[in-house]
Amino acid sequence: MSALERLVVIVLFEGVDLLDITGPPEVFSLVRRETDNATGYEVVLAAGTMDPVTTSAGVRVLPDITFHAVSTRSIDTLLVPGAVEFDSDRRVHALTDPAVVGWVRTLAARARRVTSVCVGAHLLAAAGLLDGKRATTHWSTAQQLADDHPGVEVDADPIFIREGDVWTGAGISACLDLALALVADDFGEALALRVARQLVMYLKRPSGQSQFSVPLEPVSTTRRVEDLRHHIMRNIGEQLTVADLAAYAHVSERQLTRIFKAELGMTPSAYVESARVEVARNQLESTDATLERIVSTCGFGTTDTLVRAFRRRLDTTPTEYRRRFRATTG
């Protein structure tokens, strides 16, 4: 590992969810491709022994290092995945192996930050790392987490939550969003967005994105609409009327509306509003910008317009959204 690489240790154990251990490394591997090849991450899979581990999908994975060996190293990020079992009624139950919990506690003491993906939050909680903190997990085991660990403030809605140097992520594909957020924290939003594009994720989802909402905009099949979508995001603070967009695309307003409805299932105005709300959500979560500043940078025109858009699309106000989902950095 070079001096410019950050050591990411992923905890490996029998029955672990496969995507939890393979998704984040895919994100981290793209950092080097999108930079000057001098920065990035070293990712290692650590387990109790060097024997192959069978994941929940039946795929066998080889560890890179043992828990004991990696416990002597300085760890940048400890990433803890999870595992589940199903009872006779097909109800999901998160598993917490005491031996793994003990190693998580030991390795966390060597790590700059600790993260969990999906039901890995149960391991963090069992290790005492979530006491007094707000945390999330897969919605199917959120009640179990709350029942087993009353000292943890469980919020099953966001796709990930940051509490100082402890990050918890929600289920399945949200591991990619959490990994992108870590990249943004380490190398900036611009690089994280470039990585997101490589992953064909149109927008990097903010932590406040609900597990139960539609996370990504529909993907267009035409280059013209994709160009318009990027034009909208590049100029989100501008007026962006239907007439403006039609002129940019060199089509009539009526034709533009037909194209948007056919390709994206909504009118141009509705799409612009949804894009503005998405950008505003990011600013509310990650900055201290005033509502007036957000109105200006996102092109809402007035605070009332911003508030109405949030009520219409998120059933909340910008102020309430920030109170609930503002990232805690300390």
- 109 φ/ψ angles, rounded to the nearest 5 degrees: -70, -20
Angstrom distance (rounded) from CA 227 to CA 263? 13
Neighbours of 200 (CB within 10 A): 8
Residue with tokens 């240790």: 9
Q: How many CB atoms lie within 10 A of CB 67?
A: 22
The C-alpha atoms of residue 242 and residue 62 are separated, in whole angstroms, by: 55
Count of all residues that appear for the chain in the document? 330
Distance of CA 171 to the CA centre of its chain: 10
Q: Is 118 a catalytic residue?
A: yes
Provide the token pair at 167: 């990050």
Which two three-digit tokens encode residue 100? 């793994």
DSSP annotation of 150 reads T
According to DSSP, the β-strands at 75-80 and 84-86 are unpaired
Structure tokens at 224: 């013209």
Is there a contact between 264 and 271 (Cβ–Cβ < 8 Å)? Answer: yes
Q: How far apart are CA 112 and CA 108, in angstroms?
A: 8
Catalytic residue among 83, 118, 126, 246: 118
247 to 17, 108, 244, 253: CA distances (angstroms): 49, 55, 5, 8
Which amino acids are annotated catalytic? 118
